[in-house]
Structure 1
Amino acid sequence: MRFLLSAALAFSFAATASAIRTPGIQQILGPKLSSGASIALSSSSAPRWSQYEAPRAQIVVNVGSEKDVAETVKYCNENRLGFLAQTSGHGWANTWTLDKGDVIINLRALNTVNVDKTKKTVTVGGGAIIKEIVEEVYKNQLHVVSGGCNCVGTGFMLGGGLGRLMGEYGLAIDNLLSLNLVTADGSTITASASSGDLWWALRGAGHNFGIVTSYVVRAHPWINNGTHWSGNIVFSGDQVEAVTKAIDKLTFQKAIAVHYYFAVDPSSQQPVIIVNPFYAGKTDDARKAFKPILDLKFIADTTGPIAWNDLNTSGDFFCEKGSRKPAYSAGLKKLDPKAFRNIWDAYVRFIKKNGVDKVGKSAVLVECYSYITARAIDRASTAYPHRDVNFQALILGWYDDKALDREAEKLGKYVREQWLSTSGFQRDHAYINFARGDEPLAAIYGESWRVRKLAMLKKKWDPKGRFSQYFPIPAGY
């Protein structure tokens, strides 16, 4: 048998078999799939990172090849089923419209990573996660632009791709050479710089135009033999204004990046400020670059040399799937110390009121990168609209009890408004990979000309709106 289906699961879902059309998917789609594919009748086979407002689809097609993806899309089209492609299920938007009878296309098995050291290129399967990419590239003494979370998949790049090395090399999309994807009608194509406006759209709004089965990116020679400088500098809450000012005034050289957190310290079980600096190079140069922060009164300093492939390891607890994780975000031109004081106070109240045991994994995060190389690229050359943003700010609730939803949402909205009202921009900015889903299209996709162009391309490449689950672009805008 060329596909796998659990009899026990089939029995347990018998009451809803008509709704989820199990006979059709077994008899029609199953024989068309590769030997490496399987069909499951439970979303547990492709769990989401957050259960908060997660997609409701209960059919999962675990694909084993690009052809499997194409056949699944065709099947869904013929049977009027909605579908969503996922690798690690990290997207936390509330834009999902899938019902129980719809389909998750699980790309995780397409996780190959092949490095061409001579050409300095990396061919990545659409199901690979950042950890797998970084490890393989590191073995070949190369760098690529990658995100700060080991378990994130291809969606990281489609939204733009922010990462610690972007000061040196630009955004992930700036290093993209080609994409293999399945389009809305189930066709397979290769997109590259010769693909015209589709290539423009895929780099920043790619979720709306196809399912990426593989892609090729540019790699770069090691910096400092693959050893950089990072760690955590921990501060008490009375340092909010000082830390915020220091980061805001920092000179973001190409080698620099900062992750700025409000989080609960595992040892003391108290909220603390954490600055996670990064420098692509030697320790002496790093400490000079971060002197304004190191000169402040801190509780602890664990900074030192670290191998590039170990950079994300300390944040692996963020990869834990499940729980409820509502998120709110904003793109900022500047950091306002008073706003961050208000946010700190609200965050601490939320933790103390509900208890560390219940909400202690909740956090505030600001990702701060050098945009020197990214801004050397014409803003109009890709669909990514946020090259003028200096800081990407995010608040993430994390808990299990659904009864806490309303309070977490209230906190998230308050924090986001603090950021938006002091952002330094005339209009709102929301990075698609961090956004919630209640933002206007202009906040996600940028100026009106960008949205109009995306809508025109949507009408051409996806007129029926089959790719409509993640910040959908209306074809009739």
Structure 2
Amino acid sequence: MTITPSQNKTLFDYLAALLTGQLILPDDAAYESVRQLWNGRVKTRPAAIARCLTVEDVIHTVRWTREHGLPLSVRGAGHEIFGRSLRENGVAIDLSQMKAITVDPVAHTAQVQSGATAGELIGAAEKYGLATTTGTVSSVGMTGLTLGGGYGSLIGAYGLAADNLLSAQVVTADGQLITASAEEHSDLLWGLRGGGGNFGVVVSLEYRLHSLTTVLSGMLLYPLEQARTVLSNFNEFITTAPDELTIRSGFLQTPDGATALFLSPTYCGAIAAGEEVIAPLRTFGNLLVDRVQPVTYNDLIHQLNVFTPAGRHYYLQTRSLAGLQTETIEVLIEQGLPLPSPFSTINIHHFHGAASRVGVSETAFALRQDHLMIEIIAAWEPQSPDEEQRHLQWAQHISRSLAPYAFKGGYINLLDREEQERVPLAFGSNYERLLDLKRRYDPDDVFHSTIGHLTP
């Protein structure tokens, strides 16, 4: 169904009357600011945005939208690359105002509404000396992160964000509220742990928390001419890294315009032990910068926010490698550098430890062997279409060059719309089970625009 501007007001008056929250239409003064996602490159314009404040708002919106045959999408915190949370001329369920967090310090759990960010969850948990796996920046929404898997700096000790998901409340495609847990709808809980936002509107999540406040973390910078040696040493070092140590690595541009290699370790055990464990990293090359020090985990995930501001234009490609071979190191250096802008980076996530010990079939997330997930992040201030193409082509070229050495699938949270063929490969032997779940919980493919792009 297509909605013309003249039809908007009359048609949507009925939905607006059902909501506790606001219904935002294109003519409203707040529309542009509400519509905008973290990635300023996304220009999709829904016919209406339902800013839900309650679960009942979500139920009403799902039922009303389906009754009127309109496309439906779901937005959490809005920190998103490819704009899958908005559909042109559709209705967007906006959960970003639903942020309530309740921490149980005795049970070490947190109940989190679906609009909450990593920073908001960790800020609440820190008061009790607790934390869980999150993304590396505080503005990332916990719901989208978790539904796709959820890499982060605590992955070695605590597993993926999805591995810490204990239960979830979900509004289904027919507007029913159900709970997915080990006791009820356990099949759905399995699918929510890394299977994407394909089965309904997740309105709250329950997480397992761990005793943690302070970590040993920071940035080690090495000169570019030593990158081959440092990365070779790094690749050998991580094969025996303890669970408590997870290391991001990659390339960035320094304030003076030079390109540098970085290693960013995070150790979540005793600080003294961590100093001993990471000491070899300092011998891999001639350090330009050493900023590794004790820091609260809450402060750590806020530190990178300045490098990833909302509204900048972003484009991302991703590949996952079993490790760094000579050939893949050459690709990163020869094809990836120089970086196309001061804001662009190549970011390498370290997957190991507790995350690797989860069985392939235990959750929907299937890549459970030690690996490195490469993020090729193009970021720029908008100038011209030609300028945009230069950034896109840079990221795509590196991705194609890494493909012969990479696992055939990919991290579904970071796959582009044009990479649909990689989705079944990402889920591997779990894909057919996910299709069965899709047929059971969303047979009409209402949520096909959300993460994962599964079709029933």
TM-score (normalizing by structure 2): 0.91
Deviation for aligned residue 1:343: 2.5
CA distance in 2 between partners of 1:31 and 1:453 (Å): 39
Match of 2:418, SS state, is coil
Match of 2:223 among 213, 216, 236: 236
Match of 1:158, SS state, is helix
Change (3 A) 1:96 1:136: closer
Change (3 A) 1:442 1:414: closer
Task: Say which is worse superposed, 456-465 or 401-410, in terms of deviation.
Answer: 401-410
Match of 2:72 among 69, 83, 103: 83
Match of 2:33 among 37, 44, 49: 44
| 1:415 aligned partner | 398
The percentage of aligned residue pairs carrying the same residue is 25
Alignment of 1:425-436 (within 5 A): 425=407, 428-436=408-416
| 1:8 aligned partner | none
Match of 2:414, SS state, is coil
Deviation for aligned residue 1:129: 0.4
CA distance in 2 between partners of 1:443 and 1:71 (Å): 31
| 2:87 aligned partner | 98
| 2:288 aligned partner | 299
2:134 is aligned with 1:146: yes
Task: Structure 2 unaligned segments of length 5 or more: list them.
Answer: none
Task: Say which is worse superposed, 312-321 or 200-209, in terms of deviation.
Answer: 312-321
2:328 is aligned with 1:339: yes
Task: Say which is worse superposed, 448-457 or 51-60, in terms of deviation.
Answer: 51-60
2:348 is aligned with 1:366: yes
Match of 1:192 among 174, 178, 181: 181
Change (3 A) 1:308 1:467: same
Change (3 A) 1:384 1:29: same
Change (3 A) 1:403 1:88: farther
| 2:317 aligned partner | 328
CA distance in 1 between partners of 2:304 and 2:180 (Å): 33
CA distance in 2 between partners of 1:361 and 1:447 (Å): 31
Provide Cα deviations, 1:358-417, integer angstroms capped at 9, x if missing partner.
x32111101114x22223322101111111251110111112123223222221122112
Q: Is the 8 A contact 1:37 1:68 kept in 2?
A: no
2:100 is aligned with 1:119: no
Q: Is the 8 A contact 1:385 1:445 kept in 2?
A: no
Q: Is the 8 A contact 2:99 2:113 kept in 1?
A: yes
Match of 1:309, SS state, is helix
| 1:248 aligned partner | 235
Match of 1:394 among 355, 368, 375: 375
Match of 2:64, SS state, is helix
Count of equivalent residues: 442
Match of 1:325, SS state, is strand
Superposed CA RMSD: 2.2
Task: Say which is worse superposed, 317-326 or 235-244, in terms of deviation.
Answer: 317-326
| 2:51 aligned partner | 62
2:6 is aligned with 1:25: no
TM-score (normalizing by structure 1): 0.87
CA distance in 2 between partners of 1:243 and 1:437 (Å): 35
| 1:110 aligned partner | 98
Match of 1:463 among 428, 443, 449: 443
Deviation for aligned residue 1:447: 5.3
| 1:132 aligned partner | 120
CA distance in 2 between partners of 1:65 and 1:302 (Å): 43
CA distance in 2 between partners of 1:397 and 1:182 (Å): 35
| 2:210 aligned partner | 220
Q: Is the 8 A contact 1:43 1:57 kept in 2?
A: no
CA distance in 1 between partners of 2:130 and 2:85 (Å): 37
Paired letter, 2:349: E
CA distance in 2 between partners of 1:110 and 1:463 (Å): 27
Deviation for aligned residue 1:439: 2.8
Match of 1:348, SS state, is coil
Paired letter, 1:331: S
